[in-house]
């Protein structure tokens, strides 16, 4: 495992995706609000998503220079999306949110981790 990403560009792209996702969660856009509702995520916890996603974007960005931070953030994102997929399965939400959003993001996070930190 590499302490710093090489190449850096996949980490930068993932950080931009997570920052955009965080912005869309500040006042959840309709498809994100529907996703939260479909997995029975209590509305009283919706506020935690933007800071969590901004923290992921920051961890990825700072991880370009801070050894192991980017790799640790990638691992945390993989775990996050594994939990998200489990929540979709538990809620029997087998539509677009599971397959396009959560599963695709899990695969992207794994790919970034492998390509930038393990290859």
pLDDT in tens, 51-90: 999 999 999 999 999 999 999 999 999 999 999 999 999 9
**Assigned token pair, 1:** 């495992």
Please, what is the Cα angle at 46 between 103 and 31, to 5 degrees? 50
| Helix residue ranges, H only, 63-102 | 69-90, 96
Tell if the pTM clears 0.85, that is, is over it.
yes
From the list 119, 107, 113, the residue with the least C-alpha distance to 10 is 113
Task: Break the chain into its structural domains and give their ranges.
Answer: 9-117
pLDDT in tens, 10-67: 999 999 999 999 999 999 999 999 999 999 999 999 999 999 999 999 999 999 999 9
Q: DSSP characters for 15-70?
A: HHHHHHHHHHHHTT-HHHHHHHHHTT--GGGGGGHHHHHHHHHHHHHHTTTSTTHH
């Amino acid at each position: 495992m590499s302490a710093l990403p090489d190449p850096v560009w996949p980490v930068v792209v993932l950080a931009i995706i997570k920052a955009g996702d965080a912005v869309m969660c500040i006042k959840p856009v309709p498809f994100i609000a529907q996703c939260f509702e479909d997995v029975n995520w209590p509305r009283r916890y919706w506020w935690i998503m933007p800071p969590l996603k901004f923290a992921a974007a920051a961890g990825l960005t700072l991880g370009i220079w801070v050894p192991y931070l980017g790799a640790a953030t990638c691992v945390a994102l993989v775990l996050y999306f594994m939990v998200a997929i489990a929540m979709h399965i538990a809620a029997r939400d087998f539509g677009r949110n599971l397959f396009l959003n959560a599963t695709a993001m899990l695969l992207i996070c794994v790919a970034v981790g492998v390509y930038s930190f393990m290859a």
